[in-house]
């Protein structure tokens, strides 16, 4: 090993972080994956058929990537945006005209939001046409539907925050639709707006829902969603031509070209 | 000596009875506290004091309105209309999905820009998706001044004669 990498890796601190050897053997390559928090959502080995682009078009991963962009840009926007009636619109305009890269971050947030809705929808379509909602993945389909609804609610709550005419009337129309919920519709609208009309209370409520409540729910459900995909043996694969059984069940044993983890 | 959590260990009737009773008390207490928390949470997010516009307001003396006037009060979302017979007021909120309508004097009708609903000068639906006429609102004369309360609805056709 050359001297610099050796100096960086052969010390107690590095050894305590990375506890396996250089990934030059199958064993160490496996260890590199399943001792890493960020990599462990993938199996150590996957079949080539499962990662072919045309199998999934990577729509789920791209949805998650859009959410990551939204989280980062959203946090950055929060440094300048104040969710109150006198300031909200002014702060939005400040982001557009006086803050360095403000217009870039705001538009990135906006386009990533539109993109995420489209990607989540396409992901759903792909899963539907692959028949991947069938047992044992039925409940993961349900989680996916909730994730889709949360995505739409995040878009809806974010819509009010610029506090311009478009925002005001869009939320007027949207919250009047809430009234259509049987028997509790009117109360639900009152709770959502924190009053009878869209005002200070509604803006603050939508801000808290948009920046805290809904993203937290989304993160927890995304974790469950991905975890269940892993437990069901990765993405759904139709039976190989000529081969017998279909996909491996949960925690099933070693298949050709696949190594068990854990 | 069986383990404490060994459920297969033989236990006498009294012990089973006690276990069932404690289980019932525990789950009952959990149920009560969950229900209490749910009720308190809904009460907490339901505001008791609203800092909203007063729905009751003065609009001026009757003689300041020439016949044919349609006064649009934006913040209160109310129209005050003076006809030959007298006064009436209409809600300016579209009955479709709650947008603010506007009066179009050349058409003598109220128009909603959101989805194209149109209402006659009397508030009846003449076009678009609106399901109901604009609600009529009470106009009262108090000490020579017209007073409107946008929360008080009156039957269609009601007119304050002056």
Residue ranges in chain A modelled with pLDDT below 50: 249-262
The answer to whether B109 touches B65, Cβ cutoff 8 Å, is no
Confidence band, pLDDT 50/70/90 cuts, at residue B6 = low
Would you say residue B135 has pLDDT above 90? Answer: yes
Return all residues near A69 (Cβ < 8 A) that are at least 6 apart.
Answer: A108, A109, A112
Pairing verdict, β B56-60 and B70-73? unpaired
- Spacing of C-alpha B123 from chain mean position: 20
Pairing verdict, β B78-82 and B125-127? unpaired
In chain B, the residue whose alpha carbon lies closest to the alpha carbon of A179 is B97
Distance CA(A170)–CA(A156), nearest Å, equals 9
Token duo for residue B40 = 């308190």
B114 touches chain A (CB under 8 A): yes
Nearest in space to A32 (alpha carbons), one of A21, A16, A47: A21
**Under an 8 A CB cutoff, do B97 and A196 touch?**
no
In chain B, the residue whose alpha carbon lies closest to the alpha carbon of A198 is B52
Confidence band, pLDDT 50/70/90 cuts, at residue B5 = low
DSSP B63: G
Q: What are phi and psi of B81, to 5 degrees?
A: -115, 130
pTM above 0.90, yes or no: no
Q: What are phi and psi of B134, to 5 degrees?
A: -65, 130
Q: What digits encode the pLDDT tens for the residues B74-131? A: 888 999 999 888 899 999 999 998 889 999 989 899 999 999 999 999 899 999 999 9
- From the number of C-beta atoms within 10 Å of its C-beta (0-12, 13-18, 19+), residue B111 rates as middle
3-state SS class at B139: strand
Domains in chain A with CATH codes: 47-231 (1.20.810.10)
Token duo for residue B162 = 């002056």
- Spacing of C-alpha B119 from chain mean position: 21
Q: How far is A195 from chain B (nearest CA, A)?
A: 6
When CB atoms are compared, the residue of A173, A191, A197 closest to B52 is A197
H-run or E-run covering A170: helix A165-178
Chain B CB contacts of A169 below 8 Å: 99-100, 114
**Under an 8 A CB cutoff, do A191 and B114 touch?**
no
ipTM of the complex: 0.71
**String of b and e for A145-183 (b: at least 16 CB within 10 Å)?**
eebbebbebbebbbbbbbbeeebbbebbbbbbebeeeee
Q: What is the pLDDT of residue B4?
A: 61
Q: What is the pLDDT of residue A255?
A: 43
**Under an 8 A CB cutoff, do A176 and B45 touch?**
no
Dihedral through CA B49, CA B53, CA B56, CA B57, nearest 10?
150
Phi-psi region of A99 (alpha: psi -120 to 50; beta: other; left: phi over 0): beta
**Under an 8 A CB cutoff, do B97 and A195 touch?**
no
């Amino acid at each position: 090993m050359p001297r610099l990498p050796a100096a960086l890796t052969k010390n107690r601190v590095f050894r305590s972080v990375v506890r396996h050897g250089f990934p030059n053997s199958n064993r160490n390559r496996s260890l590199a994956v399943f001792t890493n928090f960020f990599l462990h959502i993938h199996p150590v080995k996957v079949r080539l058929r499962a990662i072919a682009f045309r199998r999934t078009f990577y729509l789920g991963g791209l949805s998650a990537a859009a959410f990551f962009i939204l989280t980062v840009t959203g946090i950055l926007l929060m440094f300048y945006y104040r969710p109150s009636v006198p300031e909200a619109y002014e702060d939005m305009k400040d982001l557009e005209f006086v803050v360095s890269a403000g217009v870039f971050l705001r538009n990135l947030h906006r386009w990533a939001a539109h993109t995420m809705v489209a990607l989540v929808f396409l992901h759903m379509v792909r899963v539907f046409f692959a028949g991947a909602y069938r047992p044992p993945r039925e409940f993961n389909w349900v989680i996916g539907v909730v994730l889709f609804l949360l995505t739409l609610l995040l878009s809806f709550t974010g819509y009010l925050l610029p506090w311009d005419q478009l925002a005001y009337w869009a939320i007027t129309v949207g919250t009047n639709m809430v009234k259509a919920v049987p028997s509790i519709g009117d109360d639900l609208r009152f709770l959502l707006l924190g009053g009878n009309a869209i005002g200070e209370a509604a803006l603050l409520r939508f801000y808290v829902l948009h920046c805290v409540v809904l993203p937290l729910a989304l993160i927890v459900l995304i974790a469950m969603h991905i975890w269940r995909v892993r437990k069901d043996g990765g993405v759904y694969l139709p039976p190989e031509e000529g081969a017998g059984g279909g996909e491996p069940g949960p925690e099933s044993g070693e298949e050709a070209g696949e190594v068990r983890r854990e | 000596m069986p383990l404490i959590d060994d459920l297969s260990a033989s236990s006498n009737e009294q012990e089973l009875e006690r276990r069932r009773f404690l289980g019932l008390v525990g789950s009952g207490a959990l149920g009560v506290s969950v229900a209490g928390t749910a009720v308190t949470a809904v009460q907490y997010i339901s505001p008791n004091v609203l800092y909203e516009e007063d729905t009751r307001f003065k609009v001026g003396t009757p003689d300041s309105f020439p016949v044919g006037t349609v006064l649009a009060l934006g913040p209160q979302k109310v129209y005050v209309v003076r006809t030959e017979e007298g006064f009436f007021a209409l809600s300016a909120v579209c009955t479709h999905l709650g947008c603010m309508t506007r009066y179009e004097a050349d058409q003598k009708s109220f128009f909603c820009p959101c989805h194209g609903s149109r209402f006659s000068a009397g508030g009846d639906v003449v076009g678009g998706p609106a399901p109901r006429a604009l609600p009529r609102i009470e106009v009262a004369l108090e000490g020579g001044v017209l007073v409107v309360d946008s929360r008080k609805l009156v039957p269609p056709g009601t007119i304050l004669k002056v």
